[in-house]
């Protein structure tokens, strides 16, 4: 078994001395503020010089869905590839603002228009609100590609953690609905559900910042009925995976969701979907959002951008 890298170990030691607040005991808005404050302290700062942005509300199934649209600075108005990105946060936290730095970097490094989606959060808005908002935002982005300077023929979806869940689910939904056509899916330590064979779920249940108690609590907030966990729109790992777009799946070596994410990659392969699986052996869940203190986070952002560039050029 690999060992934690020095940066991750130092972060966990500091958290042990000054524990991460118990978000499960807070009211939703207090919880989201504490979540945002922590990741702001360890995440990369936003760099407006990388990409310009504008905020819009787009039509959703139950009202407007906020999005932030990024375009690399210094580019002409020729259509660029399109990435629709869904933030992490366990379906209960995270926001467009908390992912501003990551989305600016992806836009700049991938040479793409990025549409970051502010889907509705639980427990105020339970499943399938986030899925419905996310798919509506994807459809809007593709249908309005000319307006935002994007090329609808080069569209990808992406996300991390719960956002990785949404990216996987939206890709399956687009396949079932015969559109929009996607060329790629970027799945970063995605919450894909489980087939019940995960060793990492037990091995890393405590002591690695995001554990089994938090995992179970998040599902309780998100699902109106525990039986919904068997729905492919909650657990994309149980779906038929044939005919999905190529994928990059990134996992973390010390993450309870590692084995399920890797099982999803294997199931994609078995279904004939081209997949690159990359495990960052020596770090923990959410490391992209801690890239100011973890080199692995910056490396992974660069890997994501390179994979997107490759997908958008057809592997050339």
Query: Among residues 214, 266, 269, 261, which one has the least CA distance to residue 242?
Result: 269
DSSP lists the bridge partners of residue 116 as: 68, 85
Query: What's the order of all strands across the beta sheet hosting 65-72?
Result: 51-58, 65-72, 113-117, 80-86, 150-160, 184-188, 247-254, 275-284
Residues 70, 100 contacting (CB under 8 angstroms): no
Cα separation, 50 vs 46, whole angstroms: 9
Catalytic residues: 161, 255, 285
């Amino acid at each position: 078994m690999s060992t934690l890298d020095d940066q991750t170990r130092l972060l966990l030691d500091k958290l042990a001395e000054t524990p991460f607040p118990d978000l499960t005991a807070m009211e939703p808005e207090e919880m989201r503020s504490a979540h945002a404050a922590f990741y702001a302290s360890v995440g990369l700062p936003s760099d407006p010089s990388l990409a310009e942005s504008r905020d819009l509300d787009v039509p959703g199934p139950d009202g407007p869905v906020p999005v932030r649209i990024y375009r690399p600075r210094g580019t002409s108005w020729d259509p660029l590839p399109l990435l629709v990105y869904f933030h992490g946060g366990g379906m209960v936290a995270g926001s467009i603002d908390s992912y501003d730095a990551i989305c600016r970097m992806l836009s700049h490094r991938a040479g793409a228009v990025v549409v970051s989606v502010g889907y509705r959060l639980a427990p105020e808005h339970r499943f399938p609100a986030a899925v419905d908002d996310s798919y509506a935002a994807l459809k809007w982005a593709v249908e309005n590609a000319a307006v935002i300077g994007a090329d609808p023929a080069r569209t990808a979806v992406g996300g991390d953690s719960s956002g990785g869940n949404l990216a996987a689910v939206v890709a399956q939904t687009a396949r079932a609905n015969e559109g929009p056509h996607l060329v790629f899916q970027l799945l970063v330590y995605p919450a894909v559900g489980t087939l019940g064979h995960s060793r990492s779920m037990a091995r890393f249940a405590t002591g690695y910042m995001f554990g089994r108690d938090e995992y179970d609590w998040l599902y309780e907030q998100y699902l109106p009925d525990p039986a919904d966990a068997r729905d492919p729109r909650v657990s994309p790992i149980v779906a038929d995976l044939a005919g999905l777009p190529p994928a990059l799946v990134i996992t973390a070596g010390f993450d309870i969701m590692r084995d399920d994410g890797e099982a999803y990659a294997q199931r994609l392969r078995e279904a004939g979907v081209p997949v690159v699986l990359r495990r960052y052996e020596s770090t923990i869940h959410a490391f992209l959002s801690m890239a100011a203190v973890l080199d692995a986070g910056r490396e992974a952002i660069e890997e994501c951008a390179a994979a997107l560039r490759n997908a958008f050029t057809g592997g050339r």
